[in-house]
Amino acid sequence: MELLVSIITPSFNSERFITATIQSVLNQTYQNWEMIIIDDCSNDNTVSIIEQFTANDIRIRFFQLEKNSGAGIARETALSKAKGDYIAFLDADDLWKPLKLEKQLQFLKDNKIHFTFSFYDCIDEVGNSLNKRVEAPRNLSYLQLFFCNYVGNLTGIYDVNYFGKIAISSTRKRQDWMVWLTILKKVKKAKPVPESLAFYRIRENSLSASKVDLLKHNFSVYRRFHGFNYVTSLFIMIGFLFTQLLIKPRYIKKI
């Protein structure tokens, strides 16, 4: 039997993007999946669009939060409802290429590993290519991940039967980084599928667009997830900035 993949998708006011996102899942060559969409109290047409899909495909499971709680709570809620052998992530404005799941599952099997991710391409709000591909180290270590989140959330997939369901932080940002760090603590090294399997949408008004906010969220990871004190976290942030300015650019390619 083919193993079931649970796809976790939080949504909030995603009416412009959610159709394409769901369609990219429907277009997968690997078809044994469930897509769990948790809406975080959208006030646009997101809900009605999703309900059109759920009416036609029982693999798409839709739930709504009672109050706006952020992506962390939405993802954890989806995780609690997941039935799959694997957990994968796809936000409501990103896209997968058709072979994404098939290639990743084969890569896991061929390499006898329990976690992988991939490279991804960047697009703008209307779906135009930004001619940029984000790659990652071929043998990603915990130390490398400690200073920089090389794993694109839309590309990560892990084996539930090996790791169990990994709890997702309720914070509004960087929950994915904490999941990958938890995984790397156990397996020490991670290998990406060395090709682009997804499209990451860069939006001007997204949380990711604010570099200052990102620094605050990263600092919070060092303080709360790792448990470092304030001074130690400040020193570690220097290493983080060094990685962002001098090392990570090596993994960003023009296409």
Bridge partner list, 119: 196
Q: Does residue 211 carry a pLDDT above 90?
A: no
Residues near 87 by beta carbon (within 8 Å), at least 6 away in sequence = 5, 6, 8, 79, 157, 158, 160, 165, 166
171 class by beta-carbon count within 10 Å (0-12 exposed, 13-18 middle, 19+ buried): middle
Angle at 152 between CA 213 and CA 236, to 5 degrees: 50
Q: Does residue 1 carry a pLDDT above 90?
A: no
Q: What is the pLDDT of residue 207?
A: 47
Residue 82 per-residue DSSP state:
-
- Map out the domains of the chain with their CATH numbers: 5-204 (3.90.550.10)
Residue 135 per-residue DSSP state:
-
pLDDT tens, residue by residue, 171-196: 778 899 999 999 999 999 999 999 99
Bridge partner list, 116: 157, 191
Q: Does residue 208 carry a pLDDT above 60?
A: no
Q: Which amino acid is at 158?
A: Y
Question: Whole-prediction pTM value?
Answer: 0.94
Handedness of CA 154, 160, 166, 171 (dihedral sign): positive
Residue 4 per-residue DSSP state:
P
Question: Using an 8 Å Cβ cutoff, are 83 and 177 in contact?
Answer: no
Q: What is the pLDDT of residue 218?
A: 86
Confidence of residue 161 (pLDDT cuts 50, 70, 90): very high
Question: Using an 8 Å Cβ cutoff, are 17 and 93 in contact?
Answer: yes
Q: Which amino acid is at 82?
A: A
| 18: three-class secondary structure by DSSP | helix
Instruction: Report how far apart, in Å, the C-alpha atoms of 120 and of each of 66, 76, 82, 201, 207 are.
Output: 33, 24, 25, 10, 19
pLDDT tens, residue by residue, 124-145: 999 999 999 999 999 999 999 9
Token pair for 236? 């570690």
CA distance 251 to 173: 22
